[in-house]
Structure 1
């Protein structure tokens, strides 16, 4: 089977329409249709079927699309492995959330020129869903993402994810509103409060709804903010309560109520497309992110 045709099938499984596949790969819809018809002949079975004005994959098409991801990743890994001893050179494009960029990426970026003068890192600040979309479209090489232990995100088969670190989170409340007890007791104390959540990611809202449900109620989501600084300003203004990192200082007027039993922990990941990790520039960055060296650098990094 032709790898280019397998790519078309894999992209159709990801995007859902031939038009979007054509736009993504810079070709025409008719070309996509013709090439998938040839692939069906090579496979000896129908791969797509009409679905109104669109098409959808047949069961055989879905199975072959899954194989295509593995095949294309193996081909890419083999291509990148042809010269593993080559000096890493090129630009590694990284999309990630601000905390991971500050905590994990910036310390190693500062050290790269002395070790690999021909390697560059290009940084884009994005929330996890945005970063993963850029990774799927091959617009970045590495995504730094997060989820919570109480709201695991999971990853598609097209990517590989490595854990980086985790951090405990607490509930940000107005100063003086101290609450004792476990996480459920803390949440019950704010049953009637307005809740503040992220405007660009649903992970913390999922955590809030999960713990509130365990505490026996549905939280009232009132405001959404992308900035933790703005979220704290909203707390000081008496507009609600929301999740905040437990290991970072808070603004005057904000207190942290610990969340334990169940704990709430943010988990950071380094995510790449399958088959790309052998590319020398990316391998260098991943080794520094996940190995022992970055841990020493992280402790010296600004919070």
Structure 2
């Protein structure tokens, strides 16, 4: 089977429209239709069927699209294996959340580019959902993402993720009237408070709603904020409470209480397309992004960086 036709089928499974496939691959709709018809003849099965004015994959078409993920990844890997020891060179497109870039990527870039001057690292800031979409569309080579244990991210089958490091989160509340620092939070005591969540990613809201459901209440989401510093301003002003990383220095008037049963833990990941990790520039970066040999410090690791949500 022609891998170019398999790629068109895979794109159709994702976009659901012949026109969208044609636009994505800079082809005419007629050409896409002809190529998929040829693929159907090669496979000796019907791959698409009418669905009103559109088309949809048949069950056989969906199965072949699933196989296409593995086949195309294997072909990518095979191409890279032809010269696995090549000097790393080329533009490496990295996207991710701000803290992940600061903590995991930027410290390794000077040594990397000094050793391999042919590598050009281009960095963009994205939330995980944005980064996943760009990886699937092959518009990024590496994404630094995160999720919470109570809100795990769902990866496309064309992607693979390697965990990097973890940090626990707690409940940020006004210091006045809060339990002593180090005490565990009784989240139900704040059931009637307005709650603050991230404006650019829904993962912390999912984690919060899970915590609240286990405690027997539904949180009233009043504020959606991208900056942790602004979250703290709202907490100090009495405008609400929200999840904050434990160990991060906070402004006066804010206390971060431990959460347990369940706890909330943020995990960061290096995410790539399947079959791409051996591309020399990407491999050179991934080797330097390995998890630290010892435990990640839980205090002051964010101190040099202005506060922002993990995104």
Instruction: Look up the SS of the partner of 2:270 in the other structure.
Output: strand
> How well do the aligned residues superpose, as a CA RMSD in angstroms?
2.3
Q: Which has the higher helix share?
A: 1
Describe the SS at the equivalent of 1:224.
strand
Other structure's SS at 1:107 match: coil
User: What's the offset of the Cα at 1:300?
Assistant: 8.5
Q: Which residue of 2 aligns with 1:226?
A: 226
> 1:279 and 2:279 equivalent?
yes
* Residues 61 and 179 (structure 1), Cα distance of their counterparts in 2 relative to 1, 3 Å cut: farther
Structure 1 window deviating more from structure 2 (213-222 vs 226-235): it is 226-235
What SS class does the counterpart of residue 221 from structure 2 fall into? strand
Alignment of 1:173-212 (within 5 A): 173-179=173-179, 186-212=186-212
Alignment of 1:1-303 (within 5 A): 1-179=1-179, 186-290=186-290, 302=304
In 2, Cα distance between equivalents of 1:220 and 1:38: 55
- State the SS of the aligned residue for 2:106: helix
**Could you tell me whether the CA contact under 8 Å between 1:182 and 1:261 is conserved in 2?**
no
Q: Is the partner of 1:234 in helix, strand or coil? A: helix
Per the TM alignment, residue 240 of structure 1 is displaced from its structure 2 partner at its CA by: 0.7
Contact 2:132–2:155 under 8 Å retained in 1: no
In 2, distance between residues paired with 1:30 and 1:253?
A: 64
* Change beyond 3 A, Cα 1:64–1:256: same
Which secondary structure state, in structure 2, belongs to the residue aligned with residue 290 of structure 1? coil
Post-superposition shift, 1:295? 8.7
Moved over 2 A (4+): 179-183, 291-296, 299-303
After superposition, the Cα gap between the structure-2 partners of 1:48 and 1:182, relative to the gap in structure 1 and judged at 3 Å, is farther
Q: Is the 8 A contact 1:10 1:65 kept in 2?
A: yes
SS at match of 2:138: coil
CA offset at residue 151 of structure 1? 1.0
The Cα shift of 1:113 comes to 2.5
Q: State which drifts further: 23-32 or 88-97.
A: 23-32
Separation of aligned partners in 2, 1:147 and 1:174 = 26
- Give the drift of 1:154: 2.6
Distance (Å, rounded) in 2 between the aligned partners of 1:227 and 1:211:
22
Shift of 1:177: 3.4
Distance in 2 between the 1:293 and 1:79 partners? 32
Separation (CA, whole Å) in 2 of partners of 1:91 and 1:293:
29
- Which sits farther off after the overlay, 66-75 or 29-38? 29-38
Following superposition, the deviation at residue 186 of structure 1 comes to 2.2
**Structure 1 stretch 20-29 or stretch 197-206: which is displaced more?**
20-29
> For residues 120 and 47 of structure 2, what CA distance do their matches in structure 1 show?
41
Give the superposition deviation at 1:261. Answer: 2.1
Give unpaired runs (5+ residues) of structure 2: 306-311
Deviation at 1:225, TM superposition (A): 0.9
Question: Whole-Å Cα distance in 1 between the matches of residues 245 and 17 of structure 2?
Answer: 41
Number of equivalent positions: 302
TM-score (norm: length of structure 1): 0.94
1:179 to partner: Cα distance:
3.6
